[in-house]
Amino acid sequence: MVRAIEWVDAGADSHIRLIDQTLLPASETFLEISSVEQLIEAIQSLAVRGAPALGAAGGYGVALALLEGARHEWTETELDTAIDAVALARPTAVNLAWGARRVAAVRAEGFDRVLAEAHAIATEDERANRELSRLGADWLLERVGHRPLRAVTHCNTGALATTAWGTAYGILHELHDRGMLELVYVDETRPLLQGTRLTSWELHHDGIPHLVEVDGAAASTILRGLVDFAVIGADRITADGDTANKVGSVALALACARRGIPFVVAAPYSTIDVATATGDLIEIEERGDHEVLNFGGLPVATPGVRAFNPAFDVTPHDLISAIVTERGVVEPAATEQPLFAPDVAVADH
Ligand code: MRU
């Protein structure tokens, strides 16, 4: 299984190794990241991406900042600024700032402790993904029927988007391993094609039958009865269960509600943002015009035309059949609010 992000231990030259996801599947190129500036560039260009992988990047980013700060004799304020810059490199996935803040909180205990905390984020993420995949597969088979299922998914939620195994992808993988997955429709995921380039690459490697479809086909695929459920990941889930994920996700949710089939969100608990009450309050990243107005590296629109390029959308909780985390399954469409709060336990599955 490919690792999206790893820490390379090399004394003072220790650094982060990323597979450059902007080049997949054409080229498997690794980036050796040894400065905060390089890490921020990798995050913003989507060389590393996906909420849980960004959580690990935030954590390892603090370790990197400490090493870089020691090399350049940064003041505490300069170190703070560097850590903040990592935490805020992209706004929507809560995991990035969560990872950076969690690791920064142990900074006073020294570099070894910082690195151990960053490693803990990665280890916990893999464990969470494997557990939520089992829970999600159980829930789906119980809800839809014990037979090979057909799914639609959006964006990329596999090992590349996490530290290992995947979230929504992990559920699909788990169903496949149980002989309970017939076919996956993979949305191409405009404009950066995480579905076509990344999810399809992972499904191909895992031997999972799939078809890539344009994003515009997804609602009709659902309404025509070609799939039994939709499953997506999440970048931020607010206290009421509203879910930000890659733009295009909400179209799947609307179509599933109309067709009466499950729309499932899968994410580690680190994606739940209990401090934000509702989806209206989530900052949606807007990216550059060129991503929309170019195709295959060439400009395709009339010169001077501007684009609207939100990277994410928010699916209201009442359209979500199940939110699956490693702590259990909640059913937002059928549950009193708030779903998630520091003192509200998630019902065990
Ligand atoms: O812009 P990206 O590629 O970082 O967006 C990623 C997604 O929207 C994923 O679906 C989400 O982060 C969940 S990854 C397990």
HEC profile for 76-124?
HHHHHHHHHHHHCCCCCCHHHHHHHHHHHCCHHHCHHHHHHHHHHHHHH
- pLDDT, position 343: 53
Does the C-beta of 193 come closer than 6 Å to ligand 1?
no
C-beta 236 within 6 A of ligand 1: no
Verify that 114 and 136 share a domain, yes or no: no
Find out whether 191 and 291 touch, Cβ atoms under 8 Å: yes
Residue 330 has pLDDT above 50, yes or no: yes
Confidence band (pLDDT; 50, 70, 90) for 341? confident
Indicate if ligand 1 lies below 6 Å from the C-beta of 93: yes
My answer on whether 74 and 218 are in the same domain is no
Same domain, 272 and 333: yes
pLDDT > 70? residue 297: yes
* Ligand 1 midpoint to CA 17 (Å): 19
Determine the distance separating the centroid of ligand 1 and the alpha carbon of 234, expressed in angstroms: 7
Mean pLDDT over all residues of the chain? 96
pLDDT over 70 at 345, yes or no: no
CATH of the domain at 253: 3.40.50.10470
Rounded percentage of the chain residues whose pLDDT exceeds 70: 97
Query: Given pLDDT bands bounded at 50, 70 and 90, which one contains residue 348?
Result: very low
Ligand 1 pocket member 311 (CB < 6 A): yes
| Claim to verify: residue 70 and residue 208 sit in the same structural domain | no
Q: Are residues 114 and 260 in the same domain?
A: no
pLDDT tens, position by position, 19-74: 999 999 999 999 999 999 999 999 999 999 999 999 999 999 999 999 999 999 99
What is the pTM assigned to this prediction? 0.96
Average pLDDT over residues 273-301: 97
Specify whether 224 is located in the same domain as 172.
yes
Is residue 336 pLDDT above 80, yes or no? Answer: no
Residue 335 scores a pLDDT above 90: no
- In the listed set 107, 124, 141, which residue is the last one of a domain according to the structure? 124
Residues 339 and 216 placed together within one structural domain of the fold: yes
Stretch 213-220: mean pLDDT, rounded?
A: 98
* 97 plus 230 within the same structural domain: no
Sequence-distant (≥ 6) Cβ neighbours of residue 221 within 8 angstroms:
152, 185, 213, 227
Q: Active-site positions?
A: 235
Q: Does residue 312 sit in the same domain as residue 187?
A: yes
**Nearest ligand 1 atom to alpha carbon 157:** 15
Residue-level pLDDT at 219: 98
347 CA to centre of ligand 1 in angstroms:
26
- Give the residue-averaged pLDDT of 200-205: 98
Number of domains in the chain: 2
- Which CATH number is 68's domain given? 1.20.120.420
135 and 282 housed in the same domain: yes
Does residue 52 share a domain with residue 31? yes
Within 140-284, strands assigned E span: 149-153, 181-187, 210-213, 229-232, 236-238, 243-246, 263-266, 272-273
Per the structure, the complete domain to which residue 151 belongs is given by 131-348
**Index of the ligand 1 atom closest to the CA of residue 266:** 15
Tell me which of 91, 124, 157 is where a domain ends.
124
Same domain, 76 and 32: yes
Query: Residue 125: CB within 6 Å of ligand 1?
Result: no
pLDDT for 337 equals 63
Q: 121-163: per-residue pLDDT in tens?
A: 999 999 999 999 999 999 999 999 999 999 999 999 999 999 9
pLDDT (0 to 100) of residue 227: 99
Q: 97 CA to middle of ligand 1, Å? A: 15
pLDDT of residue 346: 46
Domain end point (choices 124, 144, 164): 124
